Every structure is written in C-alpha cells, then in structure tokens.
Amino acid sequence: MSVRKLKPITPGQRFRVVNGFDAITTDKPEKSLIAPNKRSGGRNSQGKMTMRYIGGGHKRKYRIIDFKRNKAGIPAEVKSIEYDPNRTAFIALLNYQDGEKRYIIAQNGLQVGQTVVSGDDVAPEIGNAMPLSQIPLGTIISCVELRPGQGAIMARSAGAFAQLMARDGKFATIKLPSGETRLILVNCLATIGVVSNSDHQLLVSGKAGRTRWLGRRPRTRPVVMNPVDHPMGGGEGKSSGGHPRSRNGIPAKGYRTRSKKNPSNKYIVERRKK
C-alpha cells in the first residue's frame, strides 16, 4: 500500500494525497457480480428529505460481496484485486474450483494466484475464513460475524482488524477496532488478516468538489443556525453555542446514549474508550 502527493499544478491539487493503487490488478469489474445501485438523495418513499447533506455524486454499480463465506472446503483462486467505489477496502475476485465466482473483502497481503478456502480444519493463513473455535489465540482477524451464519458484520472497513484474545466454553473474547472487548460465539466465522487499503486514512481530498463527487453535500454548522433550527443556534456575533448537543437536544461529545437495559450488554466485557 502507498500514497502519492500530487504536484500542485492546480489549486485543488496543492494538498491532494491520492492512493497509489499498487495492489489493484484490474479496472474492469466482473459483470455477473454487479448490480444497480439506486441513490435516494436523502429522500424517503414520499419524496420528503429525511436525511440532510446527501445528494449528487458519481454513479456507482454495486459489487455483490460474499460476506458469509459459506462455500466450505472448496478452494478458490484469487483472480484479481479490485477497487470498490461503495467501500473503503479493496475487494478480491475468487474463482472457485466448481466454476463459481464471488467477491470478498481483500486482506492486506492477499496476492493474485493465491488459494483461499473457508470452513473447519483449514490453515490460519491470510484470506482464509474459519470459525473462532479453530483460530489460534492472539491471531489478527477481520470480517467477523456477530451471529453464526449472519455474515461478516464487524471489522470490514479499510485497515480494520480485531484480535482473538481468549476462549471459554462456547464464547470467544474479541478485542474490536473501537477498543471494545466483547464475547462472541465460537462458531462465528472470521477471516485471517487485516483488511486491505490501510493507507485510506492518509488520503486528502484537496477540494470541496471531490467530496461532492462522493455524494456528500455541504454541512451547516449548528452554531451558525437560528434558534428555531438548532439548540446551539442564535446569539449575537460568534457565540460559542453552549453545550454541544444534537438537533433533538441530546448531549454530544461524551454523553453515552446506549441503553442500560440493552440485552447485549452482558456480552460486552469492556466498553470502548471515550
């Protein structure tokens, strides 16, 4: 993985930092694995805007990703590593021995021509998916299921990884990217390795227009709104805005909104850091 700083031949390129795309091997997606991706523009089924600051952006085709890795015991060859406009991580095209093709989230170090496999009793190598009961303790993992057969839910974005800390009975202890330590059933699947494109956090867009291309419209700061629009609005000149809070009055920046009665609280060993 690498990043490139562009020569400032235009004002928008002066601070621009782009991805080197060293790991990408093709720019053409597999046609059988793409689907239309309709944009809502932040509107609901009645056409009313229910989410602000969404709209515009470049057209995208959705890549159908196999998060379940349920072709157990069938080896697959990595045919290509590709860019996916719908996520920060790169994706890998697998060609299974029975002829089926599937996309998966690519891990750092996954190479074209490499063989990956999922299921029980497979080697804990990069790209292989296996139950937490089979993975050696201390292993770095990603694309972790929360419930057996549900498909990968956690540690899926660029550079994300979790760590298998311990096993006790039917539960494994996982340290998640947020810092939270949590119990997960040992028959949940996880993939060995760190998610690819770990340099994504170093990218700099360089200009406002590039954010518009991603479908994000300009966001208005609450402190410059009127009192009718936001609790932090109003005041003469540059007022501080009082205590930071949401539009509905819920405190922000440190206020915990998780319910004390949430039934999954018993599975959380240690909360994420503030």
- Interval 131-181: pLDDT, tens: 999 999 999 999 999 999 999 999 999 999 999 999 999 999 999 999 999
Instruction: Give the pLDDT mean for 86-110.
Output: 96
pTM exceeds 0.85: yes
Strand partners, 141: 162, 192
pLDDT at 241 over 80: no
Question: How far is it, in rounded angstroms, from Cα 128 to Cα 122?
Answer: 7
Residues 168-197 have pLDDT tens digits of 999 999 999 999 999 999 999 999 999 999
Cα-based torsion angle of the residue sequence 111, 134, 175, 112 in order, rounded to the nearest 10 degrees: 10
What is the average pLDDT value for the chain, to the nearest integer?
94
pLDDT at 122 over 90: yes
Q: Which of 127, 125, 122, 38 is nearest to 77 (CA)?
A: 127
State percent of the chain over pLDDT 90. 92
Give, in order, the Cα–Cα distances in Å from 127 to each of 63, 101, 131, 195. 19, 16, 13, 10
Task: Please report, as a single letter, which amino acid is at residue 178.
Answer: S
Instruction: Give the pLDDT mean for 64-69.
Output: 97
Residues 208-236 have pLDDT tens digits of 999 999 999 999 999 999 999 999 999 98
Q: What pLDDT does 2 receive?
A: 87
Q: What pLDDT does 1 receive?
A: 62
Q: What pLDDT does 274 receive?
A: 66
Q: What pLDDT does 173 receive?
A: 97
Sign of CA dihedral 210, 59, 112, 144: positive
The structural domains of the chain, ordered by start, are 3-201 (2.40.50.140), 220-274 (4.10.950.10)
State percent of the chain over pLDDT 70. 99
Tokens of 254: 């440190």
Q: Which of 78, 66, 65 is nearest to 23 (CA)?
A: 78
Asked whether 145 and 152 are in contact (CB, 8 A), the reply is yes
Asked whether 177 and 156 are in contact (CB, 8 A), the reply is no
Q: How many other C-beta atoms can be found within 10 angstroms of the C-beta atom of residue 234?
A: 16
* R_g of the chain computed on alpha carbons: 22
Confidence category of residue 240, pLDDT binned at 50, 70, 90: confident
